[in-house]
A and B are shown apart, each in its own frame.
Chain A
Amino acid sequence: MSTTLLLVQTLNGLQFGIILFLIAAGLTLVFGVMDFINLAHGVQYMVGAYFAAMFSAYTGSFVAGLALALPAALAFGLLLEVLVFRHLYDRDHLDQVLATFGVILFLNQGVKAVWGAAPLFVPMPSALSGSIELMSGLLYPVYRLAIIAAGLGVGLLLYALVHHTRAGMLVRAGATNAPMVSALGVDIRRLFMIVFGFGAMLAGFAGVMVAPILSVEPGMGDNILILAFVVIVIGGIGSIRGAFLAALLIGLVDTLGRSLMPNILRLALDPSMASQTGRAVAPMLIYILMAAVLFFRPTGLFPVKR
């Protein structure tokens, strides 16, 4: 394994981790503040990607598509909140899991009914297509670098919002003790709605960003949702900082694991055996990591203090 390939895979891992963070940030806030498990968070990501596909095809420009898809994703999230989710905040986790599972079933087929079952492709904005030479011999697609930059930007923005604004202070207070915040005269329902809408928009943003590099298809949010859950559980539910670090960790472990595992095993096993075992073990790595973290720290790495 050459250094170049290692660097490329590291960048890929970072990019994947950034996308995971965008999804997990909303999920961990919604869970931390409202104690609400939203399995349907993954479909927000899918819907964001579909909106990007629709609007960029309609306007002929990715940037215009992005500008239209974000408010659409926000509106869609708020619509779901009003129709279904707000009736579930007082229910137990099992009810929340079931009802949001029903929402997933509906929306996965819903996008099929509206946009068809065939995957859609979103053209890459021409300004960001092509590759850039980072080092001698290391070419890397500009668009993926743009994803990393955009994700880091959003992460910083989120940090500023949560830690340096009044709304952010209420969100942090809500994550620590929601009933107390409510008792102090804050309209907790409105706070919930803001957090929820914001989380939905972040997931939608992630969907828009990956639309040009992945195919947009029904069910695309399902597996990434599970990864986002792994992220927030490892990071500690309710913690943005934990979600950020865990997302990068998961992105790197998963991406590097898949490319390095066979090579590492080759030191101990014969080549065909090593590549076979490597392929089998690599996708399990992050789940093993999660089990290990929860075994030693049952509330994650950065638990929100209660």
Chain B
Amino acid sequence: MSGALLREEIGTGDAAPRPAAALRRHVPLMLLFLTLALAPLVARFGGESYVLSLLLRVMIFGIAAMSLDLILGYGALISFGHAAFLGLGAYGVGILMSHGFDGAFLQLAAALTASALFALVTGAISLRTKGVYFIMITLAFGQMLYFLATSLAAYGGDDGMTLPRKSLVFGTRILEQPFVFYYLVLACLLGTYLLCCAIVASRFGRVLRGTRENPVRMQAIGFGPFAYQLTAYVIAGTLCGLSGFLLANQTEFVSPAFMTWQRSGELIVMVILGGMGTLHGAIVGAAAFVLLEEGLSRITELWKMIFGPMLVLVVLFARGGILGFFRRGGRG
């Protein structure tokens, strides 16, 4: 019986959402993007570039968290080394720039290619393992890259390197203008979101969700999970590379600290905090994380002493993250 159910899900996708439900789903999302789009205009009156840089962080980590959600939420692949791709994207900018290649397109191409290749190779090895071994091997690959970065003396080693400027677009310094860069990041976020939505809704996405629920049964009905999982892993890594490219350009700084295992943990936290397997939850989670970090660190330097227990409480008592909380609230 459940086999029939599964086949139906793969064949036709989820039952078409009722209009009211679709509205309830889409309105907050549009509000979210609208807020992000209007924020610079409001912030200009406030005269605060601080708000913009905070929102930029939210959006950039939103992209990274969303890419993780694609494999974590839809493929049940707990990658504990996702920050490696953040670092690869950032070092793609940094290394090319230090050799005089300033062009944004070349850097972006390098960042994405490096991320995709790294994901392809490490994914192919990691996906041979299951469960906790997968967590550990992704962690190990992340650490490997981290230590590689710390030993690259020519590119700043442990301390990282400050970039002389943001990437150039057709030789112009257009990215230096705050609004241009802000809307570029927003466009990347929106693009990533739409792309991920399309992937999740496609036949590929449904097979991926099938492997999440029951790999053995997927195998039995003729879908080998490996190819689908590896493809998803490569897509997720590449998208996270994009976020690394943007992060390097925002901070004008590249450092091994971008890819510590704690950063990988934080990305998982963002996904869970917002609500796993929802895509836009990753943006909400990134926003919650960045704003909490900012807010709590204003109260006390030891903000992690508050954040840590909060995390434990969220895991123990608030399943489904922030979105899950609202959904339950809406139903009750």
A residues lining the B interface (CB < 8 Å): 31, 37, 39, 84, 87-88, 91, 93-95, 97-99, 101-110, 112-113, 222, 226, 229-230, 233, 237, 276, 279-280, 282-284, 287-288, 290-291, 294-295, 298-300
Interchain nearest-CB distance for B149 vs A (Å) = 9
**Inside 8 A of A101's CB, which chain B residues have their CB?**
265, 268-269, 311
In this complex, what residue of B is CB-closest to A288?
Answer: B144
Contact between B147 and A102, CB atoms less than 8 A apart:
no
Contact between B308 and A104, CB atoms less than 8 A apart:
yes
In this complex, what residue of A is CB-closest to B147?
Answer: A283
Q: A82 vs B225: C-alpha distance in the bound complex, in angstroms? A: 39
Contact residues of A: prevailing secondary structure = helix
In this complex, what residue of A is CB-closest to B78?
Answer: A94
Q: Contacts A95-B315, A99-B311, A233-B133; is A226 near B78 (CB within 8 Å)?
A: no
Contact between A287 and B144, CB atoms less than 8 A apart:
yes
Q: Contacts A101-B269, A222-B262, A280-B148; is A109 near B302 (CB within 8 Å)?
A: yes
Contact between B312 and A84, CB atoms less than 8 A apart:
yes
Q: A107 vs B311: C-alpha distance in the bound complex, in angstroms? A: 13
Q: Contacts A95-B315, A98-B269; is A230 near B136 (CB within 8 Å)?
A: yes
List 10 interface pairs A-B (beta carbons < 8 Å), by A numbering.
A93-B78, A99-B311, A101-B268, A106-B304, A106-B305, A229-B140, A276-B153, A287-B140, A294-B129, A298-B129
Does any Cβ of A come within 8 Å of B161's Cβ?
no
**Inside 8 A of B129's CB, which chain A residues have their CB?**
294, 298-299
- Which of B78, B303, B310 makes the CB contact (< 8 A) with A102? B310
Interface string of B149-166 (1 = CB under 8 A from A): 011111000000000000
Q: A226 vs B305: C-alpha distance in the bound complex, in angstroms? A: 22
Cβ-closest 3 pairs across A and B: A106-B308, A102-B311, A105-B308
Q: Contacts A279-B151, A294-B125; is A299 near B143 (CB within 8 Å)?
A: no
Does any Cβ of A come within 8 Å of B90's Cβ?
no
In this complex, what residue of B is CB-closest to A87?
Answer: B316
Interchain nearest-CB distance for B34 vs A (Å) = 31
**Inside 8 A of A300's CB, which chain B residues have their CB?**
133
Q: A286 vs B144: C-alpha distance in the bound complex, in angstroms? A: 9
- Tell me the B268-322 residues at the A interface (CB within 8 Å): 268-269, 272, 302-305, 307-312, 314-316
Interchain nearest-CB distance for A59 vs B (Å) = 29
**Inside 8 A of A284's CB, which chain B residues have their CB?**
144, 147-148
Does any Cβ of A come within 8 Å of B139's Cβ?
yes
**Inside 8 A of A287's CB, which chain B residues have their CB?**
140-141, 143-144, 147
**Inside 8 A of B125's CB, which chain A residues have their CB?**
291, 294-295
Contact between B151 and A103, CB atoms less than 8 A apart:
no
